[in-house]
Structure formats: C-alpha cells, structure tokens
Amino acid sequence: MSEKLSLQDIILTLQHFWSKQGCMLMQAYDTEKGAGTMSPYTFLRAIGPEPWNAAYVEPSRRPADGRYGENPNRLYQHHQFQVIMKPSPANIQDLYLDSLRALGIDPSEHDIRFVEDNWENPSMGCAGVGWEVWLDGMEITQFTYFQQVGGLEVKPVASEVTYGLERLSSYIQDVNSVFDLEWAAGVKYGDIFGEPEYEHSKYSFEESNQDMLFKLFDTFETEAKKQIKNGLVHPAYDYVLKCSHTFNLLDARGAVSVTERAGYLARIRNMAKSIAKVFVAERKKLGFPLLKDEELRNKLLKEDK
Amino acid sequence: MSHTFLLEVGLEEIPAHVVTPSVQQLKERVAAFLKEQRLEFEKIATFSTPRRLAIKITGVADKQKDVEEEAKGPAKKIAVGKDGNWSKAAIGFSRGQGMQPDDIFFKELKGTEYAYVKKFIAGKTAAEILTGIKDAVTSMIFPTMMRWGNNDFKYVRPIRWLVALLDEQIVPFSILNVQTDRVTQGHRFWGTQIELKNAADYPQALLAQHVIADATERKKMIEQQIKKLAQQNHWKIVVDPSLLEEVNNLVEFPTVFAGNFAEKYLDIPDEVLITSMKDHQRFFYVLDQADKLLPHFVSVRNGDGEHLEKVIAGNEKVLTARLEDAAFFYHEDQQKTIADYVDRLKKVMFHDKIGTVYEKMQRVQSLSKLLAASLDEENKLTEAEERALDRAAEIYKFDLVTGMVGEFSELQGVMGEKYALLMGESPAVATAIREHYLPNSSNGELPESKVGALLAIADKIDSIGAFFAAGIIPTGSNDPYALRRQALGIVRIARTRNWAFSAVSLQKMIEQNYQNAPELYSNIKPTKNAAEAVSFIVERLKKLLGEHEFSFDIIETVSGVETNSFVKMSQSAKILKKHQADADFKENIEALTRVLRLAKKASSDKLERVEPSLFENQAEKDLFEAVSQIEGKDSSLEQLYAALSSLRPLIDNYFDETMVMVDDERVRANRLTQLLSIASLTREFGALDKLNVK
C-alpha cells in the first residue's frame, strides 16, 4: 500500500467487496443497539428458512465501555462491519481472506490465524460456533456459524463475519489511538467522535436519570409484549432493543445488583424468544417469499408448526 | 502383497485443544473398524494440523480373512426321514445356508446328533472394505459440535475435503457433498492444493506446500527453534508444555520469532506481564540467567520467515496495548484504599442464594478465630499470627473489585498480595490473601504459611457449608463451584499440617459461628444438609486414601467414624494396612468385633462406669484391669493398636467364663458398660467391624 486507506475508504472497500459476493448493502438500523448482530437485518433474518445475504455498518453502543474519550482503544460507541450470509457458503473463509486482500492486507506477509472462540449472547438466546481472527496477534474479526438465535435452531445455518472497524483501521493506518484514525481526508476520528465519547461517558456514568431509566425499561417492556401479541414483529423488536439499551445504561451506572441483573437479562431474553417465534410465523403467512426453491417452499409451508 | 491406506479429513480450523484428542479418536475408531472387518494391517500412523486429521495405515492386507464356519441345523432324527432320505427340514436348512443337502454332516452336541454344514465366506478386498471407513469419520464425537450450510449433520468444524487412497486408488465415499479424492490442500497462504499419486507419498508431499502434518515433528521444530533463539541471546525461554501443545495446534508450518516491549512495563508485576503474554497472546516469556523477566517475548508464526518484521511489529503493538491497559489498572487501583474495596464488596454477590462477598468475609473472619482456637498446644498461633489471621480474614477478597482483577480474573489472590503490601499490610497478611486460594488443583501446592493455611480452610469450609445449606450440592460431574476440590484442599492441608480437624468438628464450628452471629447467615441455615456436608468432606479423604492404594475395607473402616480427624483416619489406615499381614491379625480383630457386636446391644441399660463390686469371676476382673490401664495411658495410635491386640486372650477368656446378657439388670448393664469402654477405644481406628478378615 502506498497510500493508507481512510476509515471511509475501508468501509467502501468492504461494501464493494461483499456486494460483489451477492450481499445486499443495508444501512445502519436506527435504534440503539450493543452489536451489529442485534440489528433486525441479522437477528430476525437469521431465523427461518429464507436465504439472506447482507452487509452493513452498524454503530454499536456499549455504555459500560465508555472511557470519556481518554483510553486509546475503548469506546462508548464503536463501528462494526457486519456480513451475514445464509446459508453459509462453503467458501466463506476464503471470501473473508479475499476481503482482507481487497484492503491491501496480503496474508502471506502477515500471520493470520483462526482461533477458537464460540460466541454467545444469552440475553438474546443466541449461540454460535467459530473463531476470532488474529492478524499478527490482534483480534480483528469475529467469525461465527450461528447455531441458535432467539432460542430457535438456525436452519439453514447463517455465517456471520463481524469486523471491528476501529481495530482493523488502527492496524491499516498504523496508529496507536483510534482517535488518531483518519475518517476521511483531513478529518480525524477524534474530531468527529471525541466530544460525543466524553459526553456519553459522562452521561452514562454520572448524569443519567436512574428512576427514569427504570421506568422506561418497564414501559418499553410492556409495549414490546403488547405488540408481540398483536403480531407486529418489527415494532415489538424495536422496543426490545430499547429495553436492552436502557438496561445497558443502568448497568453502566452500577444501578443493577448482580441478583437483579440476571432477572433483567431473562426478561429481555424471553421477549427475544417470543419475537423469534412470531417472526417465523409471520414470514410463513407471507409464504417465505425469499425462498426461491419452490419445492422446499411448498414443503415448509405445508408443515404444521 | 501389503498396501498403504491414507485417510485425510480436511476441515476449517479445529480448536487447538481438540486436535490431538481427535486424531487419537480417529485412530481408535479406524482400528476398531478394521478389527471388526477382519482386515489385517501393521500400523496406524496419525497426522494432524489445525486443518486436517489424517491416518496412514501401512501393511494393509489384500483382503479380509476368509471365514469358514459351521452352521447348526435340525437334529439328525428330524433331518433324516424314516425312509432314509433328507427331510423337508434338512433341505430347507441347507438351502437357507446357500448349500445343498449333500453338504450336510452330523456332529454330536450334548448327546444328540445334529445336522451341520460348513460355510465358506470369501473375504472382500481391502478396497471394498475401506469404503466403510466413512462411519469411523462420521461417528466421531467432539466437545463442541456444529452444523453448517443446509445440513443437519454435526461435526467439530465444516468438512472441506476428503482424501482416501489405497496405494494409488481412490477409495470412493462421500460425506455430505464432499467426495473423496486424491487432492489435498497445502498451507492457506504458503502452499497450493496438490494431487497425491500414492498414499505412501503422505506426508512428505505436503512439505513443499509448507505443511508439517506430523504433529510430533512440528513440535520438535518449534522446540529446536526456541532453543536456538535462547542460545543466541543467552535467554531462558520458559516453555510451558500445555502452551507449546496449544501453539503447535495453531500452526501448520512453524517459524519462531522474538519481539520486544518497552522496559518501563517491567514495573508491572511479573504475574501480570506473564498472564498478558501467555494466556492472552499465547507468547512464551523470556528470563535472563538469573531468572529475571526480560522485556522480550517469543511467539510462533504460522508460515515461513519472509516478511517476519511485519509480523513482529504487529505482535509488539498488540502486546503494548495490553500492557498499557495493565499499567493503567496498576496505577488506578493504587489510588484507592483497601477499605474502599472492602466497602464495594457489600454490593458484590457471592451467590444469589447465599449473600454478598462481604458477608462471606465476615463469616470467615469469626470462623477462622474458632478454627485457630481449636488447634492443640503445639500448633497454636502466636499473637502476631492471630492478628495477621484476623486482619487477612477481614479483607481477603478485596482484590476482586480492583480494575486489574476485573481485567485479569486469573490473577485473583496474586494481585491481592501485591496490593496488600503496597497498601501497608504486613507480609503475613499479604501472603495469606494469596494463599487462601490454595490448593487450586487436586495436586496443587498448599499454603506455606500457617495463617494462609488456616484462612484457606476457613474460606473453603464456609463455601462448602454455605452451598450445602443453600441446597446447591454437587451431583455427578456437576460441581460448578468446585466444592470437591475445596473439600480435598481442606483434607490435604489438615493432613500435611497434622491439624486435628475432623469433618464433624469443622461442621460444629460452622454451627457455633452461626449461633454467635446469625445475622451473617441471612439467607441460609447452616444446620441444613449438615450430615451431607460432613460425608461429602469425608468422601474426599476416602478418595485420597484410595489413590494411596489402601484397600476398600480399610478405607471404609477408618472413615466409619466421622468424628475422627483426617489425620487420625490416615494414621489408622496405615497401621491397619501394616498389621494386616500379621499372623494374629484375624484373631485380634475378630475378638474386638465380637465385643463391638455385643456392645451395640447396650442402649439404655448401661452404667456410669464399670462397677467392680458386680464382677462374678476372675476373667471380668482381668479384663477390667487391662482396659483400665489402656484408658489411663496417653498412648499413640500405634501403641493403642498393640494394647488392644494384647486384649485378645483376655477377651476370649472373658466370653468363655462370662454370660453377658444375664437376667440380673445391674450385672448385665455392668458387663455391657465394660464392652462399651473397649468399643470406644476401638473407635479411634474407625468402625473395625467393616474390616474384611475372612
């Protein structure tokens, strides 16, 4: 590489690469969430028999990881580049390595390893098997074959590739602090995100209104449950995401005791599980339209559950 | 002519810790398959990398062994009709075996003659048989199994290619949509796929493709490169065997390299640096000749030496980021006091059903006092030790809420010691804080300090008591809080230190502690499941004795009295084992167990003490005097054994002369009381009636 890719170049390169592999380029989903997996483009679409290939950038908020913009690698909000392909292609590892080549990373000049890391998100009833990918000792990607989402078996299996954009970019641009990353020509990451990092950390750790957050959690939960009953999957799921983010804010504040914590996570999990079931039922009512294999489609539509 | 067969299962990267056991499993399954199929071979060699599990079988026979077997048919009198011709039954039988009636011969079995035929089954060729090896591959079991694509089939990771060659021939079968072939894959980045002409070309053919398929050879390469690096630099590189095994299974072609980190990070405690390198980055750490940690690390690249400088720079950067974090925590943690941390433990749950860590510390603080007070004269704590124990027990979990332990949980205790010293605690307190976690494995080292040993027992017995009281009792392999390991730890520490704790005395102290301060047991009642907790601990001693090759009946005997200390139980086992071979062992024990059996009949009818005025014969007097002498002496267990053995003629004589269960209530009670006093002496050895003297 003669000229270093800016962070937005990196995003553009990945988008271009994965769109050529048949992925739809989605946009970031507009509700707060802790990880790209929680976007409905992954969480909901991973469930059920329909194929789904998508790629998108997802800003992910983790209030407890905020460091007032002072730690070079820890952030209240970071960016994930998320790729989901269902069913998992036989050459998914090769595709991934080609995406690194597209970014100017020649694997034979580095040390790339697939190190076992099985992924779990108990609060969403999710579990998968896979690796973290190490580039010269640095974890740059989480690579997962989903086995379970929302408590349901994932069938066919979806493969998820999640790049940590800040980490990957720090490596490519060779900077020690994410705030020194070049987002676009002449504009640094810190110029854009330094102030929000400080403010969100200050808010999450010191200023948030706990009473309001506790009330909001209950309110969002009530609404989510009601809309699950109405079969309105997407509005219901938005409220589950809000519950999850509200819980994360309370957790960052240390407002949730260890005992209560398990209880809140179980409440979120139960909603996520109900939504997963309703989603499949609703897609079935629509006739699994994304399923192009007519024979399989008719067979599944006739099945009784 | 003999043949060579190669089977290679190509996979996406297998978890490092699964590689070696898996290829062993494959070998065993294949060997079992060949045996069942009667296909002879000389040897199975194994090969494994992160991406492949392979076996090469040499000396494979041309075909299965032929088999000749006799099949039994009807009795002769049924097989041959009255006319002397074959009956329908005989014709049916021979046809059923694929033969003619004329093939039938007769043989006697238990006095009756039966019809038989000799069947000859020609062995199938090796090529035919080996297609069935597919089952050995698909029936493999792994710690974590997964599905992929559209399949329901589960395996360790997706299967990407299969090689099955008998010499030059492909042995055809397929798993899912992967068909066996002669094509194998080289290194991901340093090789290409190649065609194998012959099974015998494996694994040499992979060398040019930067794959060292022989795991043992690969490991040797790593060791040699490390050794060379150490010699060149006058370093000591610490090669932990389990790390070496893991690293070996993360690479297909190893190149060892060294990197550096800034000297300023050497201010961080060694344990933190080593954890960062070893556990997080899979690096080996480096010492100088005086065993001082140096600012270097050693790692293994999966590939050749080209562009190694980029790899080194990347790894250095990652380690630096980690050490920067560690340095931050090390500094930040020291800005607070131990009191701050202890206060925060009021909010940290030990377990939902039990209470907070702070409550646990308070329980252990008063419990450790009871334990110390119960020690006999020669083991008593000095005043300074008492103060250290009290202080250590008051704060010993404080490091759990430091930033460093939050980040490196495996350093709990270790950081506690470091921080305690930095924050002005005495070395005795600091050491005890670290040592209370010991032993942390079944053979792990024990606390070296007395204070640490007492705190370790107090902490462990509190955990066992609390979990049992909360109804969280280990079952089978389910022991999430490692209570078995903790019980074993208690037993091992008490035995090593010659402390007279028994499972019962420890439980009693918990109950005493509960009586003294019930508010520390807000969610639990330690009297609940107390008997189970006691047996649970005794069970660990029994296991330990079993490992030292004591027989089942000796173990049952010595553990039969749960109030006996672990030390006493162990001594008793040794003494009984030693005397088991004595010529008079059987008689001595039988005399004593006779006493025990009768003594059991004494329930309410016993006296305060034996009353000599009620004796009716000389034998009673003699036994009484001998027993009184033993009771009066403070003898060792060995001496007690000798003394009890010497009672045998007196006991025999006593039973010859004396009827115990007489009608006179006072006389009967007096005699039972005499027997009980002997029984009570034997209980020092356990329940002697469980000894097998047949």
pLDDT in tens, B338-384: 999 999 998 887 887 898 899 999 999 999 999 999 999 999 999 99
B118 versus B286: the higher-pLDDT residue is B286
Determine the distance in angstroms separating the CA of B150 from the nearest CA of chain A, rounded to an integer: 5
Contacts of B303 in chain A (CB under 8 A): 108, 111
- Per-residue pLDDT at B115 exceeds 50: yes
Radius of gyration of chain B (CA): 36
Determine the Cα angle at B380 with ends B379 and B384, to 5°: 125
What is the per-residue pLDDT for A2?
Answer: 46
Rounded to whole angstroms, how far apart are CA atoms B181 and B169? 9
pLDDT at A25 exceeding the cut of 50: yes
Q: Read off the tokens for B229.
A: 């690096």
C-alpha distance from residue B83 to each of A33, B35, B100, B667 (Å): 94, 47, 19, 90
β-bridge pairing A52-61 and B52-60: unpaired
Find the mean pLDDT for residues B236-258. 96
Instruction: Flag if B12 and A93 touch (Cβ within 8 Å).
Output: yes
**Per-residue pLDDT averaged across B119-139, rounded?**
93
What digits encode the pLDDT tens for the residues A260-278? 777 888 899 999 999 999 9
- In this structure, are residues B52 and B213 in contact, taking their beta carbons and an 8 Å threshold? yes
Question: Which residue in the set A110, A111, A145 is minimally distant from B148, CB to CB?
Answer: A145
E-strand stretches of B273-353? 284-287, 293-302, 349-351
Query: Taking the CA of residue A195 as centre, how many other CA atoms within 13 Å lie in the half-sphere pointing to its CB?
Result: 2
Three-state SS at B311: helix
Contact B321 A115 (CB under 8 A): no
- Distance between CA atoms of A166 and A140, rounded to whole angstroms? 9
pLDDT digits (tens, 9 = 90+) for A127-155: 999 999 999 999 999 999 999 999 999 99
Using pLDDT thresholds of 50, 70 and 90, give the confidence band for residue A258: low
Rounded-to-integer distance, Cα B48 and Cα A288, Å: 43
CA distance B323 to B343: 28
Mean pLDDT score, A44-61: 97
- DSSP for B326-344, written as a single string: HHHHHHHHTTS-HHHHHHH
Partners of A138 on chain B (C-beta within 8 Å) are 314, 317-318
List, in order, residues 6 or more apart from B69 with CB less than 8 Å away.
B118, B119, B121
Nearest residue of chain B to residue A127 (CA atoms):
B146
| Phi and psi, residue A50, nearest 5° | -75, 140
* Interface contact B319-A258, CB threshold 8 A: no
d(CA B15, CA A118): 10
Give the whole-angstrom CA distance, residue B345 versus residue B347.
5
Residue of B nearest to A175 (CA): B317
pLDDT higher than threshold 60 for residue B598: yes
Interhelix angle B637-646/B585-599, rounded to 10 degrees, is: 90
Average pLDDT value over all residues in chain B: 93
Kindly tell me if the per-residue pLDDT of A292 is higher than 80.
Answer: yes
* B12, B160, B249, B308: best to mutate for the A interface, most A CBs within 10 A: B12
Q: What is the pLDDT of residue B479?
A: 85
| Predicted local confidence at residue B502, as pLDDT | 96
Among B284, B282, B176, which residue's Cα sits nearest to residue B236? Answer: B284
What is the mean pLDDT of the segment spanning B647-671? 90
Verify whether the Cβ–Cβ distance B13 to A262 is below 8 Å. no
Domain ranges of chain B: 3-63+126-207, 67-121, 215-333, 340-547, 580-690
Q: What is the CATH number of domain B3-63+126-207?
A: 3.30.70
DSSP-based three-state secondary structure for B303: coil
Higher pLDDT, B693 or B308: B308
What is the reported pLDDT for B177?
A: 92
Q: Which tens digit of pLDDT belongs to each residue from B427-472? A: 999 999 999 999 998 889 999 999 999 999 999 999 999 999 999 9
- pLDDT confidence tier of residue A121, bands split at 50, 70 and 90: confident
pLDDT digits (tens, 9 = 90+) for B152-167: 999 999 999 999 999 9
Query: Measured between CA atoms, how close is B301 to chain A, in angstroms?
Result: 6
CA distance A240 to chain B (A): 26
In the beta sheet, which residues pair with residue B625?
none
- Mutation pick from B161, B162, B188 vs chain A, by most beta carbons of A within 10 Å, is B188
Confidence of residue A305 (pLDDT cuts 50, 70, 90): low
Three-class DSSP category at B206? helix
Using the 8-state DSSP alphabet, how is residue B63 labeled?
B
Q: What is the dihedral angle through the alpha carbons of B340, B346, B351, B352, rounded to the nearest 10 degrees?
A: -140
What is the sign of the dihedral through the CA atoms of A29, A32, A35 and A39? negative
By C-alpha distance, which of B163, B225, B148 is closest to B193? B163
* List of residues 6+ apart from B284 with CB closer than 8 A: B226, B237, B238, B239, B240, B243, B277, B278, B297, B298, B299
Give the separation between CA B60 and CA B37, rounded to whole angstroms.
12
CB atoms B150 and A90 under 8 Å: no
Hey, is the C-beta of A219 within 8 angstroms of any chain B C-beta? no
Can you state the percent helix, strand and coil of chain A, rounding each to 5? 50, 20, 30
- Two tokens, residue B330: 């090390």
Nearest to B212 by CA among B184, B163, B253: B253
- Other Cβ atoms closer than 10 A to B509: 23
- The pLDDT-based confidence of B258 (bands split at 50, 70, 90) is very high
Among all residues of chain B, which has the CA nearest to that of A115? B15
Q: Nearest residue of A to residue B299 by CA position?
A: A137
Chain A residues 4-63 with CB within 8 Å of chain B: none
CATH number of B340-547: 1.10.3210
| CB-count exposure of residue B346 (10 Å: 0-12, 13-18, 19+) | exposed
> What is the rounded CA–CA span in Å between residue B526 and residue B539?
19
CB spacing of B315 vs A136 below 8 angstroms: yes
- Count the neighbouring beta carbons within 10 Å of the beta carbon of residue B321: 17
Give the number of other CB atoms < 10 A from CB of residue B95: 11
Residue A280 neighbours by CB under 8 Å, 6+ apart: A47, A48, A152
DSSP 8-state code for residue B404: H
Report the pLDDT value the prediction gives residue B604, as an integer from 0 to 100.
Answer: 67
Flag if A156 and B150 touch (Cβ within 8 Å): yes
d(CA B661, CA B602): 10
Q: Which A residues 232-261 touch B at CB under 8 Å?
A: 254, 257-259
CB A41 within 8 A of CB A140: no
> What pLDDT was estimated at residue A1?
44
* pLDDT attached to residue A203: 96
> Angle CA(B640)–CA(B643)–CA(B646) in degrees, nearest 5?
150
Residues of A within 8 A of B311 (CB-CB) are 110-111, 136
**Closest of B25, B119, B27, B34 to residue B73, by C-alpha:** B119
User: Of B63, B206, B44, B186, which is closest to residue B128 (Cα–Cα)?
Assistant: B63
Which one of A73, A111, A171 has the shortest CB-CB distance to B302?
A111
| Closest chain A residue to B176, measured at CA | A90
ipTM: 0.94
Instruction: Identify all chain A residues contacting B12, using CB atoms and an 8 Å cutoff.
Output: 93, 114
Q: What is the pLDDT of residue B66?
A: 86
- Could you give the CA distance from residue B133 to residue B603 in angstroms, rounded to a whole number? 69
A114 CB neighbours in chain B (<8 A) are: 12-13, 50
Q: What is the DSSP string of B491-553?
A: HHHHHHHT----HHHHHHHHHHHHHH-GGGGSS--TTTTHHHHHHHHHHHHHHHHHHTT--HH
Give the chain B residue nearest A262 (alpha carbons): B352
Beta-carbon separation of A138 and B319 below 8 A: no
| Residue B309 confidence (pLDDT) | 94
Q: Which residue type is seen at B675? A: L
- Tell me, what's the pLDDT at B288? 96
Q: Is A171 on the interface with B (CB under 8 A)?
A: yes
Q: A164 with A78: CB under 8 angstroms?
A: yes
Taking residues B161-188, what's their average pLDDT?
A: 97
Q: Does A263 touch chain B (CB under 8 A)?
A: no
Residue partners of B476: CB distance under 8 A and separation at least 6:
none
My answer on whether omega of the bond before B203 falls inside 30° of 0, hence cis, is: yes
- Most B CBs within 10 A among A1, A70, A98, A111, hence the mutation to make, goes to A111
Contact (Cβ atoms closer than 8 angstroms) between residue B325 and residue B261: no
Percent of chain B whose predicted confidence (pLDDT) is above 70: 99
Mean pLDDT of chain A: 93
C-beta atoms surrounding B83 within 10 Å: 7
Q: How far apart are CA B627 and CA B310, in angstroms?
A: 84
Which residue has 């030990």 as its token pair? B350
